[in-house]
Amino acid sequence: MKPPVFAYHRPETVAEALDVLAEVGHDGKVLAGGQSLVPLLNMRLAAPAHLVDVNRLAELDVVAREPDGVRVGALARHARVEDDQAAAGAVPLLGQAIADIAHTAIRNRGTVVGSLVHADPAAELPAVLALLGGTMELASAGGSRRVAAADFFLGPLESAVRPGELATAAVFPAPPAGSGSAWVEVARRHGDYAVCGVGALVTLDQGLRVGSARAALISAGPVPVPVDLTDALGGQPHDAADWAGAGRLAAAAVDPEADIHASAAYRRHLAGVLTARAARAAAAHAASRLEGAA
Ligand SMILES: Cc1cc2nc3c(=O)[nH]c(=O)nc-3n(C[C@H](O)[C@H](O)[C@H](O)COP(=O)(O)OP(=O)(O)OC[C@H]3O[C@@H](n4cnc5c(N)ncnc54)[C@H](O)[C@@H]3O)c2cc1C
């Protein structure tokens, strides 16, 4: 199918984009990489009267290593962030998760910020932002604001971006020293959206025991599901902790739905198994980073 008729705007600066977005309000949609929006238009599941193409806003094409983490501008594609060595050093979970997003062609075009705004409950990056306690930066003709990840994902395909607003960047905080991370998911074919996926972050103390551990799960509820695993793993050795106990905490926390790919019970089972694997891998990652730094 072809998309419904729309007016096309291609601003050259952020200021110009914000003026157009203010003018078109509820009738406008931002077009970034188009990897989610264009299929929605073609299937006529979305019919905005105005498309505001932000691909010429070079000032948003940034991936910056900052003192506290990594700032990803709205034009940074998945592939660029995945390949950025400074970003990978500060926030390894970014590259670990992006590797499981779709295929190379889609990662070359789709943007990190577009994925966050799109807020698909099966997408990897909303869980990464939630797990790290990151922030979205939003701008409009009336000013700018920051929204914490915990307040940004409101429901399936629903984020806190308001009509007239442009998401300009996402900030992914660097985890504390002694941390390691892992991303684990099950998809029917490589590149498909995950049937269930888990990001885990484990912080070890100097004795290589678990100080804190948490996870965020996708395809397990309407928004990423955060789970604190410290009750199951805290104080235990990095290579012999109660991983199954961590999995049980996750399985109890999720509220998955059934669809044509999996029953709710199978998704809950996956949540437990994958959380146990992700936590163990994150602890091993933390230990190897600490040993590498010694
Ligand atoms: C075959 C296929 C498989 C895929 N598999 C996966 C997968 O496994 N995991 C995954 O996470 N994703 C997957 N995707 C989606 C892909 O990651 C998209 O790139 C991403 O979801 C959206 O990024 P985009 O830049 O293409 O956004 P667009 O499609 O341009 O926009 C998506 C939505 O976000 C809004 N938007 C975008 N940028 C901004 C902004 N700066 N400010 C305000 N609003 C904005 C748009 O208005 C639109 O509503 C897949 C896509 C395809 C086609």
**Residue holding tokens 């029953």?**
263
pLDDT value, residue 153? 98
pLDDT value, residue 55? 98
Q: Which residue puts its alpha carbon closest to atom 28 of ligand 1?
A: 34
* Cα end-to-end span (Å), the chain: 58
Give the chain's mean pLDDT.
Answer: 97
Mutate to test the pocket of ligand 1, among 118, 183, 193 (most ligand atoms within 8 A of CB): 118
**Residue holding tokens 């990662």?**
107
| Alpha carbon of residue 269 to chain centroid | 22
pLDDT value, residue 12? 97
Ligand 1 centroid – CA 119 distance (Å): 9
Ligand 1 centroid – CA 113 distance (Å): 8
Index of the ligand 1 atom closest to the CA of residue 112: 23
Is residue 121 within 8 A of residue 221, CB to CB? The reply is yes
**Residue holding tokens 């888990």?**
198
Q: And the tokens for 211?
A: 């100080």
Q: What is the rounded average pLDDT of the residues 283-291?
A: 95
Where does residue 1 rank: exposed (0-12), middle (13-18), buried (19+ CB within 10 A)? Answer: exposed
- pLDDT at 79 exceeding the cut of 80: yes
Where does residue 192 rank: exposed (0-12), middle (13-18), buried (19+ CB within 10 A)? Answer: middle
Ligand 1 centroid – CA 30 distance (Å): 11
Q: Please state whether beta strands 166-173 and 135-140 pair in parallel, antiparallel, or not at all (unpaired).
A: antiparallel
Q: Pocket residues for ligand 1 (CB within 6 Å)? A: 29-37, 39, 54, 74, 101-102, 106, 110-111, 113-115, 117-118, 123-125, 161, 166-167, 193
Q: Which residue puts its alpha carbon closest to atom 10 of ligand 1?
A: 123
pLDDT value, residue 191? 87
- pLDDT at 190 exceeding the cut of 90: no
Summarised one tens digit per residue, pLDDT across range 211-236 is 999 999 999 999 999 999 999 999 99
> Pick from 152, 283, 293, 150: which is nearest to 213 by CA?
283
Q: What is the rounded average pLDDT of the residues 168-186?
A: 98
pLDDT value, residue 1? 76
- pLDDT at 294 exceeding the cut of 80: no
- pLDDT at 293 exceeding the cut of 80: no
Q: Which residue puts its alpha carbon closest to atom 40 of ligand 1?
A: 167
Ligand 1 centroid – CA 36 distance (Å): 4
Q: What is the rounded average pLDDT of the residues 80-89?
A: 95
Sheet holding 196-204, edge to edge: 179-186, 196-204, 210-218, 225-228
Summarised one tens digit per residue, pLDDT across range 31-61 is 999 999 999 999 999 999 999 999 999 999 9
pLDDT value, residue 121? 97
Summarised one tens digit per residue, pLDDT across range 115-132 is 999 999 999 999 999 999
Q: Which residue puts its alpha carbon closest to atom 50 of ligand 1?
A: 102
204: confidence class by pLDDT, cuts 50, 70, 90: very high
> Whole-prediction pTM value?
0.97
